[in-house]
Amino acid sequence: MKKMENTLKIQNDQILAFAENACHLIAPLWPLKNFVAVNPYQGLGDRPFRSTELFLSNTIGSHLHMPVHYYLEKIRDGQITLSDISEALQNQGSIVSAEDFLGAINQHKERSTPPDLLTECAMKIENQNWPSFVIERISHFCAGYFDEGQAYWSSPWSDQPLFRAWKEYAAIDFSPAIMGLKLFRERVRSIPDSPEETIIHCVQTLNIPLESLERYLFALLSSVGGWASWARYQNWQAGLEKKNDNTPLQ
């Protein structure tokens, strides 16, 4: 029994560690009043270019370079020469000739295989645009919660932690019921009050493999990228003041 409990704790700790990692991969977004341009992939800056490219293309379908056809056009136009290709291959330690490389690249088909999020799976089954609906409801809540005086009416939950505020908001939101999720509000009330416990519960319920978890959670955050980056900014600012903040995790 004790061994089983220890194993479960280790698994839970791993889930939360992957969740924290996914949060830190999101770059912070500064407010307009003191806006700072930030590399959107700042959180991946400590990784090699090639592995970062693979991570992004296989997670959210984004790339760090132009598509292959762009470079092929430059080659046809003479802006990129065989000499340029040969030099680049040598710099990479490759023994492939420029001619062989060019022949292979002409046959190359670009493939990005980002995983389907739960909402995308539901859309394929029910033929309803669940991804847009979920993003709209999250954005609607976040716009009120993070409001800094622009709105006529302030959020009644803005003094609470983000996740607790969302639970209270979602528990009285009838929009999911109108879309067909009749038990949504009851389900919201039944999930744990702790964001950490809820993450663990959802990951285990969906049976997401640990080796895919960071990519999946990063894809989730990227689907609401603006708000995830704003939450990351709250965390960033708190860190500068030596304070703890888990807004991105929430």
Q: How far apart are CA 135 and CA 166, in angstroms?
A: 14
Q: Are 233 and 26 in contact (CB under 8 A)?
A: no
Query: 29-43, 185-199, 230-244: lowest mean pLDDT where?
Result: 29-43
* Number of helical H runs and strand E runs in the chain: 13, 0
> Once rounded to an integer, what is the mean pLDDT over residues 2-27?
85
Amino acid at 136: E
Tens digit of each residue's pLDDT (9 = 90 or more) over 54-73: 899 889 988 888 888 898 89
Given this model, what pLDDT does residue 161 score? 94
Nearest CA among 6, 110, 81, 92 for reference residue 49: 92
Q: What is the separation of C-alpha 142 from the centre of its chain, rounded to a whole number of angstroms?
A: 16
Separation of alpha carbons 147 and 184, rounded Å: 26
Residue 1 has pLDDT above 80, yes or no: no
Per-residue tokens: 194:
């702790």
Distance (Å, whole) CA 248 – CA 197: 15
The larger pLDDT score, comparing residue 176 to residue 32, is at 176
Place of tokens 């939950």: 157
Torsion, Cα 33 39 41 43, to 10 degrees, reads: -70
The region that residue 180 occupies, defined by phi over 0 for left and psi between -120 and 50 for alpha, beta otherwise, is: left
Sequence-distant (6+) residues with CB within 8 A of 224 are 135, 138, 139, 142
**Cα 242 to Cα 239: distance, rounded to the nearest angstrom:** 5
Q: pLDDT tens for residues 116-163?
A: 899 999 999 998 999 999 999 999 999 999 987 776 777 788 889 999
Burial of 65 (0-12, 13-18, 19+ CB in 10 A): exposed
Q: Is 193's pLDDT higher than 70?
A: yes
pLDDT value at position 4?
60
